[in-house]
Amino acid sequence: MSKTLAKEFGLLRADKVGVAWTLRTDISAEGWEEIQPGAYVNRTYFDLAGISMDDKTLFFEGATLQDTLNPSNVPATPGNLTVVVDVMSTKPLTNNEALGASVFGNTIATGGANLTFDQTIYMRFRVFVIDLDTQAGGYFIPLSDNQLGSLSPTASDRIYVTRVVSFVSPVDGVFAVYPVRYLLRANAKEEPEFEYLMRLKRSYELQQSYDED
């Protein structure tokens, strides 16, 4: 039977004055951290332990995001950019790997992401810009929207969820990225023992490479 799994990230608010960026922890949702000035990351994971305890493999049928609003900027300055990368993967990402993913996606391992096609369940890579014609509204508009990933089956007991936001702005202001919900549609099935054991071994190796609770 198919199951729909859901995880959420809340509001991110950051202020820029001169060269200094400030993560507004009194407004931003729990879990956001700065990885370099103007770049932020948040993490969680889907717990699949109940499925893996039954010696089953998770086969993904689909993945998507639900979000509320485009990012905003006050005062809105034409040319300001925001890059938002949402990743569901069988491998946890370090801060450097998260930054690499926000530039190279999962396409060039030497770019720092070290995230392969098979390890990427789903990735959405979006760039937003403040446009001269719509700046009065204060919201960024989409400049590009790309989706990557394999939806490859896994025997891991976790699917790691990472959201990376980079504000690219030479101008002072208040920047916000709004809540998002990650959805995975999956079906747990039994595989032949040899195939399952090989998949389980590979999942364990990936999880042990780097893990943070």
Domain spans of the chain, in order of start = 2-209
DSSP string across 100-153: HHHHHTTS-GGGTT---TTTEEEEEEEEEE--TTTGGG-B-EEEEEEEE-----
Q: Which two tokens stand for residue 125?
A: 């890579």
Instruction: Return d(Cα 101, Cα 98) in angstroms, integer.
Output: 5
Cis peptide before 71 (omega within 30 of 0): no
What is residue 212's predicted lDDT score, i.e. its pLDDT?
A: 47
List, for the chain, all residue ranges whose pLDDT scores fall below the cut of 50. Answer: 194, 196, 199, 212-213
Instruction: Return d(Cα 189, Cα 23) in angstroms, integer.
Output: 43
What is residue 155's predicted lDDT score, i.e. its pLDDT?
A: 77
What is residue 116's predicted lDDT score, i.e. its pLDDT?
A: 85
Tens of pLDDT, residues 41-75: 999 999 887 665 566 778 889 999 999 999 999 99
Q: How many CB atoms lie within 10 A of CB 79?
A: 13
Tens of pLDDT, residues 120-143: 999 999 999 999 998 999 999 999
What is residue 195's predicted lDDT score, i.e. its pLDDT?
A: 54
What is residue 56's predicted lDDT score, i.e. its pLDDT?
A: 75
Contact indicator for 3, 187 with CB cutoff of 8 Å: yes
* Interacting residues of 55 by C-beta distance below 8 A, sequence separation 6+: 190, 196
Of 7, 147, 168, nearest in space to 77 by CA = 168
- CA distance from start to end of the chain: 29
